[in-house]
Structure 1
Amino acid sequence: MKLVASLTSPYARKIRVALAEKGLPFTLEVDIPWLPETAVPSYNPLGKVPALVADDGEVWYDSPVIALYLETLGGAPLLPAERLASLPVRQTEALADGITDAAVAAFLEGNRPPEKQDQAGIERQLTKIHRGLAALEERLVQRKGFGGASINIADIAVGCMLGYLDFRFGHLHWRSTHPNLAAWAADLLARPSFTDTAPPPA
């Protein structure tokens, strides 16, 4: 099994953490989809990472689909087996991924030449991030889909999203405005699966 990933992608990190938590062996092929010589489109026609090449040659993308596929391979379960029970977990995963989407969009826009940046667009994405974090803070208090006794895919998605905010948006200081999320994340981000997959220094 091979995972095609960028070391700075929070979506790829989600799958790397999931593989580690499940104890599933894989090889890592590092590829940066922004580079002209990238081979990522040969795995995913959308040119996005991660992409997982299964042992039978089937290629799976993107991260929510890969996470579902990993559940078929054994290891520690990251989703409840019962479909209804899995919905709050999947919803929290989707919320975390959506915040990540907004953060990536804001980062990419902010990397454009200053005279070409859409400041209103960046602000819209930052508003999504703040609303999403507030919703996660509330869901955590309710233990709605994540924050339980055992780690699941929603915990992983939230942790990778928060790690991406630390990596690209340290000026947001999300810990000071979301103390419950900060206290919970301190233990999560200290797990070996997270420390071993931290993005390289910017």
Structure 2
Amino acid sequence: MKLIGTYTSPFVRKARIVLAEKKIDCEFVVESPWVAGNKIAQYSPLGKIPVLVLDDESVIYDSRVIVEHLDNGTPNNKLIPPSGRERMLVKRWEALGDGLCEAAVASFLEGKRKDGEKSEGWIKRQNERIVRTVAAINADIGEQPWCHGNAFSLADITIGSALGYLDLRLPDLDWRTDNPNLLRLYEKLMQRQSFIDTVPHD
């Protein structure tokens, strides 16, 4: 089994952390969809990462589908509740974290465009989404030890991956100062080996 992606993608990091937390052996193949001549489209028609190639050569894409497959594949360290309201709440956290990542990626990529081509209005809109979402996450966490109550879950992995991407790509967006609950969670996450080993870098 192999996971295809980059060291910078928060969606790839989410899958890598799940692999580590579940203690699943998997080859990590570094390949970027932004590099000319990449082979990602051979595995996924979307040309997006991450991509998980199983031992039988079948392919799974989209981080949400990949992490659910991984969590269902082994009984240890369950990260997603099996059913009902608890499952819905963890998946809602995942949607929130993924949406935060999408806004951050959009802001970063637009900011890389040449002067005269980039839209400052678009960047402002994405950054407002980021600030609003971070504040909502901070409020929802409250005094809880983890995003979803008393247990570490996919919710924490997704939110932590999103915050790591903000630090990498949008360091001028200070999410820490006004969000002490979120900062407390992030500092705790960064003590886990799975997060330490997957800190994003170019």
Of 139-148 and 109-118, more deviation after overlay is shown by 139-148
- 2:151 is aligned to 150
- 2:115 is aligned to 114
- 1:181 is aligned to 182
- 2:134 is aligned to 133
Contact 2:143–2:181 (CA under 8 A) maintained in structure 1: no
Contact 1:147–1:184 (CA under 8 A) maintained in structure 2: no
One-letter amino acid of the counterpart of residue 195, structure 1: I
One-letter amino acid of the counterpart of residue 17, structure 1: I
Alpha-carbon distance in 1 for matches of 2:63, 2:94: 10
Alpha-carbon distance in 2 for matches of 1:35, 1:83: 42
Aligned CA distance change for structure 1 residues 26 and 93 (closer, same or farther; 3 Å): same
Of 78-87 and 144-153, more deviation after overlay is shown by 144-153
Alpha-carbon distance in 2 for matches of 1:175, 1:129: 13
2:198 alignment partner, SS class = coil
1:174 alignment partner, SS class = coil
User: Which whole-Å deviations, capped at 9, do the CAs of 1:87-128 have from their partners, x for residues lacking one?
Assistant: 010001100100100000000000000111100000110011
- 1:6 is aligned to 6
Alpha-carbon distance in 1 for matches of 2:17, 2:122: 31
- 1:79 is aligned to 80
One-letter amino acid of the counterpart of residue 67, structure 1: V
2:4 alignment partner, SS class = strand
Alpha-carbon distance in 1 for matches of 2:145, 2:195: 22
Higher percent of residues as helix = 1
Pair 1:96-2:118 in alignment: no
Structure 1 segment 6-25 matched on structure 2, within 5 A = 6-25=6-25
CA root-mean-square deviation: 1.5
1:124 alignment partner, SS class = helix
One-letter amino acid of the counterpart of residue 165, structure 1: L
Q: What is the TM-score when the length of structure 2 is the normalising length?
A: 0.95
Alpha-carbon distance in 2 for matches of 1:144, 1:82: 22
One-letter amino acid of the counterpart of residue 93, structure 1: E
2:3 alignment partner, SS class = strand
Counting aligned pairs with the same residue, the percent is 40
Name structure 2 gaps, 5 residues minimum. none
Alpha-carbon distance in 2 for matches of 1:174, 1:144: 19
Give the CA deviation at 1:84: 2.5
For this pair of structures, how many residues does the alignment match?
201
User: Which whole-Å deviations, capped at 9, do the CAs of 1:143-167 have from their partners, x for residues lacking one?
Assistant: 5982533321110000000000111
Contact 1:88–1:144 (CA under 8 A) maintained in structure 2: no
Contact 2:139–2:181 (CA under 8 A) maintained in structure 1: no
- 1:61 is aligned to 61
Contact 2:146–2:185 (CA under 8 A) maintained in structure 1: no
Aligned CA distance change for structure 1 residues 61 and 142 (closer, same or farther; 3 Å): farther
Give the CA deviation at 1:61: 1.0
